[in-house]
Amino acid sequence: MVSVSELREEHPLRLILRFSGPATVGMMMMSIYNIVDRIFIGHSVGSLGIAALAVAHPLMMIKGAMGMLVGWGAATLISLRMGEGKFAEAEKILGNALTLTFGLALLASLVSFIFLEPLLRLFGASDAIMPYAVKYMRPVLVGNVFHLIGANSMIRAEGNPRVAMFTNFIGAGLNIVLDALFIFAFGMGVTGAAVATAISQALSTCYVLSYFLRGRSVLKLSAANLLLSRKLVPAILVIGTPQALRHVVNSLVVVMLNNSLQKYGGDLAVSAMGIIFSIDSLLLMPLMGLSNGAQPIIGFNYGARQYRRVRRTFFYAVAVATAVMTVIYLAMMLAPGFFVRLFTSEKELIAVGSWGLRIFLFMIPVLGFQTIGANYYQAIGRPRQSIFLNLARQAIFLLPAIMVLPRFFKLAGVWAAQPVADFLSFMVTAVFIVAEMRHLERAGDRAVTSCGEA
């Protein structure tokens, strides 16, 4: 548990590592269980099974967007209110967020279940892929109702990153064990992978609720705070919108990629992208963990008007993130085939996947700055800038690149769209952040001068 005094006084780098270490490990575990699904399905069902999960991926991302909409919005407000010493209001935010999460999950599952096949067709499912995708999504949508996505962000925001990490451990660990049981022992294929996911998510939610109800948390959960507030709900949703939009736009990107891949490479290219997305999601978890770990530190100190400390935290987070992503980049460029072979033994799929992986991840060293920079604005409660910078990478630059580049470079153009968007969004984020850091430097100087005069 991190105390208020430590948030104010401990060295920013140590705090970032304390927060982001558990957050990164926990998020990697969450990503690993998605990867395990694809590895097990790739070796038991084959390339069509991997492709089924690839076309189902946009629905999974929309589900995640619902959780991030509430989870990130609530976490930001909780950090700011705790920094201001308003703990009672932080508890109201927590209660409202849990109610909102359940309600949105129920709504998303109902709509998706009713329109499942048309949605999967829109997301790139061919006649061969469709049966596998339907078998996978039906159990997942039922389990989604009982999954409190975003609750971990609120646990981290109150200063307990280890509990948030353990929550992910529970879900991921159970999923891996149940995957092996249902897919191989019971021979249930993609349906078994989906049932394993649903059960593990439900049990993870039970642990989150017990954490808040048994008095272990700093912020207490009460029935009165579960009643939605006209004041708090809009505030949560507005601040959480950047992360939610990022997931929604990402799902749109995946839809366009899947359809473009079908056009220029067929089911095999869709399967290759399923593998690439799995690898990419795991590799980006350290970055997201660092961003999540820095968020409550930046938010708390910004609320406390410790602007110099905010700047130091931001720069340390960017430095660590860039170093980590550079190491990952080198591994991907030197041995892409090693990672693709984890999912399949089909030689043609290995060749296509390795080629695509190298191109797709070519600009990941710049993502450390771009991601931390975009999420910085959300941490300080300025969602408009965060929305723009998060959309810059996936909507403003990537969507046009997907539409234009394949016309000239065919399948290679589909893979190249992402690195082009990464570089352009990095340049735009740099313009915003340079101006913001100069503003914080001036604000910090004024605060020091005021203290000296007092």
Helix (H, G, I), strand (E, B) or coil at 46: coil
Nearest to 366 by CA among 408, 307, 324, 402: 324
- Gap between the Cα atoms of 13 and 317, Å rounded: 8
Pick the closest to residue 379 from 301, 298, 312 (CA basis): 298
Task: Judge whether 220 and 91 are in contact, CB under 8 Å.
Answer: yes
Domain carrying residue 110: 4-453
The confidence score (pLDDT) of residue 454 equals 43
Tell me which amino acid residue 281 is: S
Residues 330-356 pLDDT 10s: 999 999 999 999 898 889 999 999 999
**What is the rounded CA–CA span in Å between residue 449 and residue 220?**
39
pLDDT recorded at residue 452:
46
Cα separation values, 260 from 80, 123, 209, 350, 413, Å: 43, 11, 42, 20, 10
219 neighbors 94 (Cβ within 8 angstroms): yes
Work out the number of other CB atoms within 10 angstroms of the CB of residue 222.
12
CB atoms within 10 A of CB 341: 17
Torsion of CA 196, 201, 206, 212, to 10 degrees: 160
Structural domains counted in the chain: 1
Tokens 């399949």 locate to 344
pLDDT for residue 135? 92
Handedness of CA 23, 27, 30, 36 (dihedral sign): negative
- pTM beyond 0.85, yes or no: no
Eight-state DSSP code of residue 394: I
Give the model's pLDDT for residue 453.
Answer: 46
Burial of 185 (0-12, 13-18, 19+ CB in 10 A): exposed
Low-confidence ranges of the chain (pLDDT < 50): 448-449, 451-454
Sorted by sequence, the CB contacts under 8 Å of residue 96 that are 6+ apart come out as: 74, 225, 226, 227, 228, 229, 232, 233, 236
